[in-house]
Amino acid sequence: MINQLRRDVRAKHYKPLILLITLDFLDKQKLFSPIIPTKIIVEKFEIIMKKIGYNREHNKGWMPFWHLSGDNIWNLYSVNHQIIKKTAFKEFKPKTKKQLLSKVNYALINFDKLNYFSTPDKRKIMRKQIFNLLKKDQELIGNKILEYYNV
Protein backbone atom coordinates (compact mmCIF):
# COMPACT_ATOMS: atom_id res chain seq x y z
CA MET A 1 0.00 0.00 0.00
CA ILE A 2 2.74 2.48 0.95
CA ASN A 3 4.51 2.09 -2.38
CA GLN A 4 1.27 2.90 -4.19
CA LEU A 5 0.89 6.36 -2.66
CA ARG A 6 0.85 9.14 -5.20
CA ARG A 7 3.21 11.77 -3.80
CA ASP A 8 3.99 15.26 -4.99
CA VAL A 9 7.73 15.71 -5.49
CA ARG A 10 7.48 19.13 -3.81
CA ALA A 11 6.28 17.56 -0.54
CA LYS A 12 7.06 13.85 -0.46
CA HIS A 13 6.77 13.86 3.34
CA TYR A 14 3.10 14.93 3.40
CA LYS A 15 1.27 11.63 3.09
CA PRO A 16 3.82 9.55 5.02
CA LEU A 17 3.64 11.95 7.97
CA ILE A 18 -0.17 12.00 7.98
CA LEU A 19 -0.13 8.20 7.97
CA LEU A 20 2.40 8.08 10.82
CA ILE A 21 0.22 10.45 12.85
CA THR A 22 -2.79 8.28 12.08
CA LEU A 23 -0.92 5.19 13.27
CA ASP A 24 0.04 7.05 16.47
CA PHE A 25 -3.61 7.99 16.98
CA LEU A 26 -4.76 4.40 16.48
CA ASP A 27 -2.08 3.08 18.84
CA LYS A 28 -3.55 5.22 21.64
CA GLN A 29 -7.02 3.67 21.27
CA LYS A 30 -8.12 0.97 23.68
CA LEU A 31 -10.35 -0.59 21.03
CA PHE A 32 -9.72 -0.22 17.32
CA SER A 33 -12.00 2.14 15.43
CA PRO A 34 -11.47 3.05 11.77
CA ILE A 35 -12.69 6.62 12.38
CA ILE A 36 -9.93 9.21 12.05
CA PRO A 37 -10.79 12.74 13.29
CA THR A 38 -9.71 15.39 10.81
CA LYS A 39 -8.92 18.23 13.18
CA ILE A 40 -6.80 16.14 15.58
CA ILE A 41 -4.68 14.64 12.79
CA VAL A 42 -4.19 17.89 10.88
CA GLU A 43 -3.26 19.82 14.02
CA LYS A 44 -0.78 17.12 15.08
CA PHE A 45 0.82 17.43 11.62
CA GLU A 46 1.26 21.16 12.24
CA ILE A 47 2.74 20.56 15.70
CA ILE A 48 5.30 18.07 14.41
CA MET A 49 6.28 20.27 11.48
CA LYS A 50 6.81 23.22 13.82
CA LYS A 51 8.92 21.06 16.15
CA ILE A 52 11.21 20.08 13.27
CA GLY A 53 11.51 23.68 12.08
CA TYR A 54 8.78 24.32 9.53
CA ASN A 55 6.29 26.88 10.83
CA ARG A 56 4.63 27.69 7.50
CA GLU A 57 6.53 26.18 4.62
CA HIS A 58 5.67 22.51 4.06
CA ASN A 59 3.19 22.68 6.94
CA LYS A 60 -0.18 22.09 5.31
CA GLY A 61 -1.47 18.86 6.82
CA TRP A 62 -4.94 19.43 5.49
CA MET A 63 -3.65 18.71 1.97
CA PRO A 64 -2.48 15.11 2.49
CA PHE A 65 -5.47 14.40 4.72
CA TRP A 66 -7.70 15.31 1.76
CA HIS A 67 -5.57 13.60 -0.88
CA LEU A 68 -5.38 10.24 0.92
CA SER A 69 -9.03 9.85 -0.03
CA GLY A 70 -7.85 9.95 -3.67
CA ASP A 71 -5.41 7.14 -2.86
CA ASN A 72 -8.38 5.10 -1.63
CA ILE A 73 -7.03 4.95 1.93
CA TRP A 74 -10.16 6.47 3.40
CA ASN A 75 -13.36 8.31 2.64
CA LEU A 76 -14.17 11.66 4.16
CA TYR A 77 -17.36 12.48 6.04
CA SER A 78 -19.15 15.53 7.35
CA VAL A 79 -20.35 16.14 10.88
CA ASN A 80 -23.73 14.77 9.66
CA HIS A 81 -22.04 11.55 8.46
CA GLN A 82 -22.47 12.42 4.79
CA ILE A 83 -19.70 11.42 2.44
CA ILE A 84 -17.72 14.40 1.15
CA LYS A 85 -17.16 14.45 -2.60
CA LYS A 86 -14.81 16.57 -4.67
CA THR A 87 -17.78 18.63 -5.78
CA ALA A 88 -18.16 19.91 -2.20
CA PHE A 89 -15.41 22.41 -2.99
CA LYS A 90 -15.34 25.10 -5.63
CA GLU A 91 -12.05 23.87 -7.10
CA PHE A 92 -12.82 20.17 -6.40
CA LYS A 93 -10.50 20.22 -3.38
CA PRO A 94 -10.07 22.42 -0.32
CA LYS A 95 -7.60 25.27 -0.72
CA THR A 96 -7.10 25.93 3.01
CA LYS A 97 -7.27 24.16 6.36
CA LYS A 98 -10.35 26.23 7.20
CA GLN A 99 -12.13 25.01 4.05
CA LEU A 100 -11.30 21.37 4.82
CA LEU A 101 -12.44 21.61 8.43
CA SER A 102 -15.64 23.42 7.45
CA LYS A 103 -16.81 20.35 5.53
CA VAL A 104 -14.77 17.31 6.66
CA ASN A 105 -15.23 16.04 10.20
CA TYR A 106 -13.56 12.64 9.96
CA ALA A 107 -12.15 9.98 7.68
CA LEU A 108 -13.29 6.39 7.68
CA ILE A 109 -10.59 3.91 6.66
CA ASN A 110 -11.75 1.95 3.62
CA PHE A 111 -12.69 -1.66 4.24
CA ASP A 112 -10.02 -3.01 1.88
CA LYS A 113 -7.33 -1.05 3.79
CA LEU A 114 -8.41 -2.00 7.33
CA ASN A 115 -5.93 -4.85 7.38
CA TYR A 116 -3.04 -2.34 7.42
CA PHE A 117 -4.41 -0.45 10.42
CA SER A 118 -6.41 -2.91 12.52
CA THR A 119 -3.83 -4.35 14.96
CA PRO A 120 -0.71 -3.04 16.71
CA ASP A 121 1.45 -5.57 14.84
CA LYS A 122 0.09 -4.55 11.45
CA ARG A 123 0.54 -0.88 12.31
CA LYS A 124 4.12 -1.63 13.32
CA ILE A 125 4.77 -3.19 9.90
CA MET A 126 3.20 -0.23 8.14
CA ARG A 127 5.17 2.24 10.27
CA LYS A 128 8.40 0.45 9.30
CA GLN A 129 7.45 0.64 5.61
CA ILE A 130 6.82 4.38 5.95
CA PHE A 131 10.17 4.89 7.69
CA ASN A 132 11.90 2.95 4.92
CA LEU A 133 10.15 5.08 2.30
CA LEU A 134 11.34 8.28 4.00
CA LYS A 135 14.88 6.89 4.28
CA LYS A 136 14.84 5.99 0.60
CA ASP A 137 13.72 9.53 -0.32
CA GLN A 138 16.85 10.97 1.29
CA GLU A 139 15.24 14.38 1.66
CA LEU A 140 15.85 16.91 4.42
CA ILE A 141 12.30 17.08 5.75
CA GLY A 142 11.87 13.30 5.62
CA ASN A 143 15.11 12.91 7.55
CA LYS A 144 13.89 15.38 10.17
CA ILE A 145 10.67 13.39 10.51
CA LEU A 146 12.74 10.24 11.01
CA GLU A 147 14.73 12.05 13.72
CA TYR A 148 11.48 13.16 15.36
CA TYR A 149 10.43 9.51 15.51
CA ASN A 150 13.91 8.47 16.71
CA VAL A 151 14.57 6.33 13.64
Of 2 and 35, which is predicted with more confidence?
35
Q: What is the pLDDT of residues 36-47, one digit of tens each?
A: 999 999 999 999
pTM: 0.93
Spatial separation of the C-alpha atoms in residues 4 and 39, rounded to whole Å: 25
- Ordered by start, the domain boundaries in the chain are 2-142
Using the predicted structure, report yes or no on whether residue 126 has a pLDDT greater than 90. Answer: yes
Q: How many helices (H) and strands (E) does the chain have?
A: 7, 3
Burial class (CB in 10 A: 0-12, 13-18, 19+), 61: buried
Alpha carbon dihedral 107, 109, 110, 113, in 10-degree steps, equals 150
Mean pLDDT of the chain: 91
